[in-house]
Amino acid sequence: MTFRKNIVITGASSGLGEGMAWRFAARGRNLALCARRTDRLDELAAELRERYPGIQVMTRELDVNDHGRVFDVFQEFWGEFGTIDRVIVNAGLGKGQPVGTGYFDANRQTIETNLVAALAQCEAAMEIFREQESGHLVVVSSFSAIRGLPGNVTAYAASKAGVSALADGIRADTLRTPIKVTVLQPGYIESEMTGRSRKTPLLTGAEQGHRALVQAIERETPKACVPTLPWAPLSVVIRLLPTGMLRKLTG
């Protein structure tokens, strides 16, 4: 396993991003954290520095839909650290409504944030990795990427399927090089986003979920459902379900 010292995490002010930041800090990694909410981001950075004084923690305000700013921020982190060993493309949006019900703007925002902005992050990261001839690109997709889903998650699932395919293509392009690519497909992990959705008996607690995410990242596996149980077996079931049963299950 390659030791990745300097790690960039987008969408780091809360949820999965914040949870991963705490886990990597405990492992002695330097962190470059970015998000739109700088008040929470700066508070998090201060807490991390106090708890783990041996690490470096940098922050930048970043709306990933400002694509030019994505490139600028990643270059700034690279300049300050000297090397970027891992970039975790985590920033995302979960809003959406059934297609054709008058909520085009919400569905468009979800696809723009989860796919187009993710492309900008991947481009910015890969420019650095290609120049360094090393690095680990991690894309946080979703279990919903496995198959098109009905209702409020149609656009969300499509955006995550797109970003999974994007990462798969980058991995194929960099095969047999020192650049590694991982796609994470989390199931329901306790966070602000899942807190706004309906309750599910399959919800994984935040601590367990964050631990599973970091373990999968550290293994640098090409693709992982997180946590493995129950989501890896369920992925097989979801792929095979008839559409009518899928609609009942997710409706």
Q: Edge-to-edge strands of the sheet including 179-186?
A: 57-61, 30-35, 6-10, 86-89, 135-140, 179-186, 223-226
Does residue 156 carry a catalytic annotation? yes
Contact 150, 246 (CB under 8 A): yes
CA-closest candidate to residue 2, choices 155, 132, 94: 132
Structure tokens given for 141: 């997709």
CA-closest candidate to residue 205, choices 16, 43, 35, 51: 16
Select which of 52, 103, 156, 188 is catalytic. 156
Contact 192, 232 (CB under 8 A): no
DSSP string, 94-141: -----TTSS-HHHHHHHHIIIIIHHHHHHHHHHHHHHHHT-EEEEEE-
State whether residue 182 is helix, strand or coil.
strand
Kindly tell me the burial class for residue 18, based on how many C-beta atoms sit within 10 Å of its own C-beta (0-12, 13-18, 19 or more): buried
Contact 225, 185 (CB under 8 A): yes
Q: Known catalytic residues?
A: 156
